[in-house]
Amino acid sequence: MKFIHTADLHLDSPLRGLSAYADAPAERLRTATRDAFQNLVTQAIDEAVDFMVIAGDVYDGDWKDFNTGLFFVRQMGRLRHAGIAVYLLYGNHDADSEMTRGLELPDNVHVFSSRKAETFRIEHQKVALHGRSFKVAATTENLLPGYPEPVAGCLNIGVLHTALEGNAEHAKYAPCSVAELQAKGYQYWALGHVHAHWVLRGDEVTIAYPGNLQGRHIREPGARGALLVSAEGDRITGIERLEVDVLRWHALEVDISEVSDRRGALRAAGLALERLLDASPAHLPLAVRVLFVGRSAAHGALIADEGQLRQEVLAQALALDPDRVWIEKVRVASQALSTQALPLNDDAQGFLADLAGLSSKAKDDPDFVLSLQADWLALLEKLPHEVLQASPELQALRQDPLAQLPEWLGQATPMLLGRVAQSADAPT
Amino acid sequence: MRIRELNLIRYGKFTDRTLLLPFKERDIHLIVGPNEAGKSTVRTALGDWLFGIPMRTPLDFLHPMPDLRIGGVLERRGAGAEPGELLAFERAKGNKNTLRRPDDVPLPDGALQPWLGSLQAQAFNRMYALSHTTLVEGGAGILSASDDIGRMLFQSASGVEHLGAALSKLQSQADGLWAPRKSGSRVYYQALEAYDAAHAEFKRATLRTKDWKAQHDALSATEAQLAQAKAEDVELRQQISRLERIRRVQPLLLVLDAARARRTELLAAGDIPLLEADAAQVFARAMQDMALAQADGARLQRELVELQASLQETVVDQNLLALQADITGLNERRLQYRAHRTDMVKREEEIRLQWVRVQELARGLAWPADSEDAVRQRLPAALLRTRLAALIKGRSALALDLKNAASGLSDRQLQNRQAETDLQELAAGALDPELALAVEQAMNLGDHAKLMAQWHDEIDGLTQEMEDAMAALGSWRRPLQALSAMLVPETAHIQSLIDQHKADAAQEQTYRDALDAKTKEVAQLQLDLQQFVRNFQPVSREQVVQVRRARDDSWQAIKQAPQALLEQAAGFEAQIKQADQLADDRLERAQHEADRQSKSDALERTQFEREGIEHRLATLKGRVAQRSAHWEALATAGGLPALPLELALAWLQSRQEVLELERRRGSAERRRSAQEAAEAQIRGSLWSRLGRASAEAPAPELGECLRQARALITQADQAQGQRKALEQQIREGRRSLGKLQDALNTAQAAWDAWLQSWRVAVQSVGHNADAPVEQVEAELELMQEIERLLERIRTIRSERIETMQADLDGLAATATSLSARVAPDLADQSPEDIALELARRLDLAQKAQAARTDCLARLERSQVEWAQAQQRLDSVHARLAPLMAAAGAKDVTALGPAIQRSDERREVEGKIRSAEQDLSQAADGLPLESVRSESARIGADALKAELDRLVAASHAVVDQIAALSNQYGAQKAAFDALNGTDLAARADAQRQEAIAAMADAAERYLRLQTAARLLKWSIEKFRQTKQGPMLAKASAIFSGLTLGSFARLLVDSEGDAPRLFGIRPSGEPVDVAGMSEGSRDQLYLALRLAALELQVEQGFNMPLIADDLFINFDDRRTAAGLKVLGELSRRMQIVFLTHHDHLVPLAKEVLGADLNVLHL
């Protein structure tokens, strides 16, 4: 007997942080979450699993388009056609969604009640599934005590949407601990809510988060998918990961310690991208954040004009495979060598040293600080809320410009030095 | 290098004058002398000594050019205790070997190279031999960065020259990302546009749950209604079908029953054999064929009898038929000759008439006319008659030629005599050549009156234009002489002043606008601040401190006087509470306080900016006033009225126009006077040549004189022409007389020859030689007619009459022959009658023959047809034989009724089958009996009413179904369109992409803007702290020279070209144009000295010759200048020339004992 355990589909939740540019594979990746789920359903049918467990968060809570629900119903229909039952538990996002209440699901879909824990039994396979859906999003109490006792002689599967103890990244909904789960007497805990893949195998009980089906931003990097669980009698015999994502996020560090100029750094980025592509499945596009790291003489040239740098990295990516690489951001996190090591004449060295010294004093000049703050606010006050939300840096700057001043000036100084060094170096 | 002494051996006004310039710690020498004492000569002499006396020099006024000579000693001091180096040499005037030792031994030209390096005379004069003029020129050159020193000045520390470009690039890149003004070219706004579009698409594509549910419910309801209506429709259709069946079968049942009764009736009399269905048709056709065959047989029998009788009656004449061709030919000839006899009579009569005419003509010629032959013999030979006719024909032409030649000759002789008479009568006359010349001159003068009018108009016009132009000078109008005498400045200079003026005006307006904007901004900020304070009442730190201080003071008071604790406790507690309250409020309203502080800061900053603008405005006004004063001075010096500068160019243009118009008017008047003088002279000349000049009769207008002279000339010209024509005519007449006489002689000879020939011919026909030509001509014509008539008579007789007679004779012979063979009874008749009768008889014989042939053919055909009719009768009997056997009929007559009975039986049985079949089809598969019983239950009337009712109800239901179906279709299509589309998801993805792009653009903009702001700030600081070495030195010197009025110099590199500013101690920048003349001189001196110092530092040391540089310095700044020079003289030699005696004590005071003073 085998079943699929999935959670956190977040259907139609958009990819974030990717700005489209010419030749980026934008068009075909705008439905990534749907495509991933469709892949999963296809695999379920191909594998002829006995049933599928969905441990919450089918949709984003604030997502209003009912078409998403219709899409979900259609996928459920495919499973029904293949004779595969689905055990669906609503999580915090689903509880918020008005679609949850309006949708008519096919009869192969069994939804766990939100009033109290409910058990579905599959008699011929001796399986008992226990679960309780969220009634409201803000379900902060531990639901576990309400779960029934295990059914003797059956494979007991607990389905729970929970922020397991110690997981700081996710909201603390329906919290409980591993020990509590282990003590419940079920053989398998099909959890949802945490987007990272995590499995705790034990002799008696297995606890698993499949992770979300599709990474949606740079903080959800790597492979994403569901779990194919095999069991014999009341024993879990195997857990296999099904990677169904259609786009994979990757933060690519490019070490430029060994290169001395901008061209070398770009070459290094190109090589790193190429290696990354080689190491990734050929069918999968990648959303890549390129981070230049290391201490290098090329740092100044890179930091001097990040706009141009982004264009050049894009060019590298396009040259490699425009259909497979979507550059999310290019960040220069490298460090400069000391200015004395720069290939400049003495006067230029002296000047750069002076400039660096002057820049460090700028923050103490109230006139300068005022004018800079006015420059910032002129833009920041006009930015839509969503833009501020999308950029923590902009949000922080908007909330407290003065607090951000040292950091921003600290970033601006090397950029300036890089630019001035370039222009001073240009004629020689 | 320094100059130890200078010997003016023979140079300018000097002879053997030595100036000693001994070295001291401060190597400065003051040479004092009044004007004309030779200070400038000393300065020039130094240059000439070092670099050579130029080819042309004004300093040879005392000593001749070749004798000029300058000497001296150069010195280079050793470092520390090291010995120095000297070079004594003299400079002579010449092309070569001008460099000599004091003992006059020539030195090589390169001897000074180690001392002067590559320095040339021009550079020395520009850099080291300074007068006030060269100082100012050099300073301006430095400021325009047109030379090395200028470039040195504007070169700050290395790398700073790139800052401007780097800043511009940063700002440009930032601007390309975002700026407050929306623009499609900026990255942020492009993304914003995409965001808005995606958002709109997202809203459009989003399907709300309630909308879906509403559509779903509506669809279900319609579906249910549709199902119900369809069920109702089925029910109705079943009822209608049953009633329709009853209505169909009722008449069919009636038909069936009637047919069955008739069959029973037919068979009651016994069995009726059934013949073939087409038996009646077969029988009828056979009977018809039989009747036709019998009728044909009877008719053919009658025809045979008639034909045989006719054949026996027909007789044919075979003899005639045998001569058929001859008889026919005879008759045709008869018809052909039918008119011969009458024609022959007519021809005889014609011959008679011709003969009568011949007889008449013969009698006219007096010839005998007895017979035709007699007349014919009297006719002369044809040749003779032809000869006579030709002579008669030529006679008229010859006579006419003779007459014409004679008359032509006499006419010409008459004309000649007339021309000679005319020529003699024509008066002789001659033209005065002087008159013609005078007329030509008058013609060359043109239309004098018109020209005078034109000149008059032009001068009037120019006068008017000038008056207008003078008016255009406005209130600054001056007399012409004064205008002409004005000294006008160059237009370019005025234009330059105006341009500057305009630029300043525009700048002033900009400042004023900016000032207004700032003032409004300040007012707005003040209002904001007041409102903010009023609305939020933020608690300031000072308030908290103040309250706390009061509280602490109370506590101190309590501590010092514990006994008063109880009395002060309440107040102290209140103060504690108030302080805490205020502190809490401040904490709560911290954001408000921060906002208030921010607004307050903004207000302060704006006020500061406004003050800056006010200051710049004031500076600008100063500059404008200064330029206005300059213009006024310029205008006064040139004798110009006190014009505003803006109007100067236009006014000067008007003035130039006035002067130009005056020049044109003068020119026009001069040309008019010249024309008048020429006219008077020519008129007098004409009048006197016409011979009419007298004291009493003055010459009339030039036109009248000219008219009279022309008339006279025309008259003379005409007479001359006539004379020439007559002379020509006489010459030609004389030449033609000879020709005319020759022609007359020729004509006469021809006439004589004709006369001779005529006489011979006449005589040959029997006339005498003098017979009149007309008579001979008439007789010839009569003879010609007689000959023609005789020929005509002969032709009629032989060709017509004799031919016809022969034809008639042949016809008679043939007729007689034929009648003898076939019709002897016609022998006594005429040939025409015989031919006619034979033709008639032949026709009868031919017709009898044709009738017999036709009769035989018809007889044969009728016999064949009669046999065929008999065969057809036999065939009919054979066809009827089987039918008769089947019907049991013994003869043909019994066969008809049998066939009729058979057909009736067949019809009845067919009706029964048909009715049964129709019923089977109409009964919808029900058995006949159940249909019969169903039909019996309802009457026809009731059936119709019920059926109508049901059909109406069915129509209503069908309409309802159609409407519901439409509704359902529309709802279904709309609902099916809600198919889980990903449009909203895609739109949201695009929106997220736009958000990412906006965030990226915003981040990049903020980084670039931060960097740009930082760089700008750094540049300003850098300028304040880091300057180029030359600027640094010039700054220090300038500050010293201006006694601290300027703190420093600053180069602004931001514009197209770097600019120099003097910075006041307050920080106010003053550009060079805005400085006073003294300050500007001091700036130029500072720049020059700084450059020299740099050169000294680089090891190149030359003496500086300064000629009265302090003319615009006041005493304090002069002292400062001397001090600066004194400091500089520690590193280089300075020779200062001045004509100011009062400078000596000041210089001694400033420079002390080191100063070496020389008097010229």
Residue to substitute from A23, A376, A423, A425, interface B, most B β-carbons within 10 A: A423
Evaluate if residue A150 carries a pLDDT over 90.
yes
Q: Mind listing the pLDDT tens digit for each residue in B654-683? A: 888 888 988 899 898 888 888 888 888 888
Q: How confident is the model at residue A344 (pLDDT cuts 50, 70, 90)?
A: low
CB spacing of A19 vs B180 below 8 angstroms: no
- Three-state DSSP at B677 gives helix
- Partner-chain contact B980 A74, CB within 8 Å: yes
Closest CA to A387 of B1005, B170, B1010: B1005
Taking 90 as the threshold, does the pLDDT of residue B1050 lie above it? no
The answer to whether B983 contacts A67, with C-beta atoms less than 8 Å apart, is: yes
DSSP state of B798: I
Residue percentage of chain A with pLDDT more than 90: 66
Distance CA(B531)–CA(B537), nearest Å, equals: 9
The pLDDT, as a whole number, for residue B157 is 41
Element spanning B89, H or E? strand B85-92
CB atoms within 10 A of CB B390: 11
- Residue B132 burial class via C-beta count within 10 angstroms: exposed 0-12, middle 13-18, buried 19 and up: middle
Determine how many CB atoms are found less than 10 A away from the CB of residue B96. 8
Q: Is B897 exposed, middle or buried (0-12, 13-18, 19+ CB in 10 A)?
A: exposed
> Taking a contact as any Cβ pair under 8 Å apart, which residues of chain B between 589 and 608 contact chain A?
601-602, 605
Chain B residue with the nearest C-alpha to that of A352: B159
Query: B486 vs chain A: nearest CA distance in angstroms?
Result: 56
Nearest CA-CA distance, residue B29 and chain A, Å: 40
How far apart, in whole angstroms, are the C-alpha atoms of residue B934 and residue A426?
114
* Helix axes of B340-364 and B802-822: crossing angle, nearest 10 degrees: 160
pLDDT of residue A428: 35
Following CA atoms A151, A152, A157, A158 in sequence, which dihedral angle do they give, to the nearest 10 degrees? 50
How high is the mean pLDDT of chain A? 89
Say whether pLDDT at B372 is over 70: yes
Chain A (358-397) residues lying within 8 Å, Cβ to Cβ, of chain B = 358-359, 361-362, 365-368, 370-372, 374-376, 378-380, 382-384, 386-387, 390-391, 393-394, 397
Q: What is the CATH number of domain A2-243?
A: 3.60.21.10
Decide if A420 touches B, using CB distance below 8 A: yes
Which residues of chain A have a CB within 8 Å of the CB of B177? 307
How do the domains of chain A map onto residue ranges? Answer: 2-243, 248-425
Interface test with A, best of B1018, B1020, B1024 (most A CBs within 10 A): B1018
How far apart CA B1159 and CA B1156 sit, in angstroms, is 10
Q: Is B165 on the interface with A (CB under 8 A)?
A: yes
Instruction: Write the secondary structure of A277-300 as one string of H (helix), E (strand) and C (coil).
Output: HHHCCCCCCEEEEEEEECEECCHH
> What is the C-alpha to C-alpha distance for residues A49 and B938, in angstroms, rounded to an integer?
69
CA–CA distances in Å: residue B335 to residues A126, B327, B808 = 148, 13, 11
- A71 to B210: CB separation less than 8 angstroms, yes or no: no
- The shortest C-alpha distance from B1111 to chain A (Å) reads 41
Q: Chain A window 8-37: which residues touch B at a Cβ cutoff of 8 Å?
A: 12, 14-20, 26, 29-31, 33-34
| Contact between chains at A351 and B160 (C-beta distance less than 8 A) | yes
B990-1003 tens-digit pLDDT: 999 999 999 999 99
Residues 950-1009, chain B, touching A (beta carbon < 8 A): 978-986, 988-1000, 1002-1009
pLDDT of residue B1003: 93
A220 pLDDT higher than 50: yes
Instruction: Kindly provide the b/e burial profile for residues A5-30, where b requires at least 16 CB atoms within 10 angstroms of the residue's own CB.
Output: bbbbbbbbbbbbbbbbbeebbbeebb
What 3-state DSSP class applies to B927?
coil
Q: Across the interface, which of A379, A386, A423 has its CB nearest the CB of B178? A: A379
Is B1011 close to A306, i.e. CB distance below 8 A?
A: no
Of A34, A101, A375, the CB nearest to B985: A34
Read off the DSSP letter of residue A123: G
Among A13, A30, A305, most B C-beta atoms within 10 A, so best to mutate, is A30
8 A C-beta contact, residue B675 and residue B693: no
A412 touches chain B (CB under 8 A): yes
B590 chain-A contacts, CB cut-off 8 A: none
Give residue B501's pLDDT band: very low, low, confident or very high (50, 70, 90). Answer: confident
Two structure tokens written together for B462: 């120019």
Q: How far is A390 from chain B (nearest CA, A)?
A: 7
- Name the B residues in 1001-1020 with CB < 8 Å from any A CB: 1002-1011, 1013-1015, 1017-1018
**A154 phi and psi angles, rounded to 5 deg:** -115, 160
CB contact under 8 A, A416 and B988: no
B534 part of contact set with chain A, CB < 8 Å = no
Tell me the two tokens of residue B479.
């007399």
Residues 131-160 of B with CB under 8 A from A: 157-160
Tell me whether B180 touches chain A (CB under 8 Å). Answer: yes
In angstroms, the CA A30 to CA B989 distance is 5
Strand partners, B1069: B1063
Q: Which residues 6+ apart lie within 8 Å of A134 measured at CB?
A: A56, A90, A91, A92, A94, A95, A114, A161, A173, A174
A362 vs B989, B995, B1017: nearest CB: B1017
Give the residue from A212, A230, A256, A295 showing the smallest Cα distance to A11.
A212
Decide if A73 contacts A105 (C-beta within 8 A): yes
Long-range contacts of B95-100 (CB under 8 A, 24+ apart): B98/B52, B98/B53
| Cα three-residue angle B750-B751-B755, rounded to 5 degrees | 120
Cβ–Cβ pairs < 8 A, chains A and B: 224
Side-chain half-sphere CA neighbours of B372 within 13 A: 14
Cα–chain center distance at B36:
77
Q: What is the mean pLDDT of residues A344-373?
A: 75
* Test the B interface: residue of A358, A385, A413, A417 with most B CBs within 10 Å: A358
Please list every residue in chain A whose beta carbon sits closer than 8 Å to the beta carbon of residue B991.
14, 386
- Better-predicted residue by pLDDT, B1054 or B684: B684
Nearest-by-Cβ selection for B996 from A18, A306, A380: A18
Do B1016 and A419 contact (CB within 8 A), yes or no?
no
Task: Give Cα separations from B545 to B573, B576, B577 (angstroms).
Answer: 17, 12, 14
Tallying the residues shown for chain A, one arrives at: 428
pLDDT value at residue A71: 94
User: So what's the pLDDT on residue A427?
Assistant: 41
**Per-residue confidence (pLDDT) for residue B383, from 0 to 100:** 83
Pairing mode of beta strands A155-161, A127-131 = parallel
* C-beta of residue B39 within 8 angstroms of C-beta of residue B31: yes
Please tell me which of the candidates B995, B997, B1018 has its beta carbon nearest to residue A358: B1018
CA dihedral of B738, B739, B744, B750, whole degrees rounded to 10: 130
Q: Across the interface, do A391 and B999 touch by the CB < 8 Å criterion?
A: yes
pLDDT of res. B841: 86
A217 and B996 Cβ atoms separated by less than 8 Å = no
Provide the token pair at B775: 């008579």
How far, in Å, CA of A91 to CA of A57, rounded?
Answer: 5
Give the containing element (helix H, strand E) for B610: helix B590-637
Given this model, what pLDDT does residue B1001 score?
93
In this complex, is the C-beta atom of A176 within 8 Å of any C-beta atom belonging to chain B? no
- Give bridge partners of residue A249 from the DSSP assignment: A287
Higher-pLDDT residue of A428 and B767 is B767
Residue-averaged pLDDT of chain B: 84
Query: What residues have CB less than 8 Å from B1079, skipping those under 6 apart?
Result: B1042, B1045, B1046, B1062
Q: Name which residue leads in pLDDT, B446 or B1156.
A: B1156
pLDDT greater than 80 at residue A78: yes
Residue A307 to residue B1004, Cβ atoms within 8 A: yes
Q: Coil, strand or helix: which one is B695?
A: coil
How much of chain B exceeds pLDDT 90, in percent? 9
| Residue tagged 């923590």 (tokens) | A392
Residue of B180, B1004, B1007 with shortest CB distance to A412:
B1007
Q: What is the pLDDT averaged over residues B286-299?
A: 85
Q: Does B223 touch chain A (CB under 8 A)?
A: no
pLDDT band of B937, cuts 50, 70, 90: confident
A140 has pLDDT over 90: no
Q: How many residues does chain B have?
A: 1160
Instruction: Using CB atoms within 10 Å of the CB of residue B375, give its burial: 0 to 12 exposed, 13 to 18 middle, 19+ buried.
Output: buried
Q: Report the number of secondary-structure helices (H) and strands (E) in chain A.
A: 13, 17
Q: Does A398 touch chain B (CB under 8 A)?
A: no
> CA of A158 to nearest chain B CA: how many angstroms apart?
31
* Residue A311 at interface with chain B, using a CB cutoff of 8 Å: no
- For residue B430, pLDDT over 80 is answered with no
CB A288 within 8 A of CB A32: no
List of chain A residues whose C-beta atoms are within 8 Å of the C-beta of residue B990 = 20, 30
Alpha carbons B102 and B86: distance in angstroms, whole number:
13
Give the model's pLDDT for residue B590: 64
Q: What are phi and psi of B24, to 5 degrees?
A: -135, 180
d(CA B1060, CA B149): 14
Q: How confident is the model at residue B496 (pLDDT cuts 50, 70, 90)?
A: confident
- pLDDT at residue A228, rounded to an integer: 97
pLDDT category at A109 given cuts 50, 70, 90 is very high
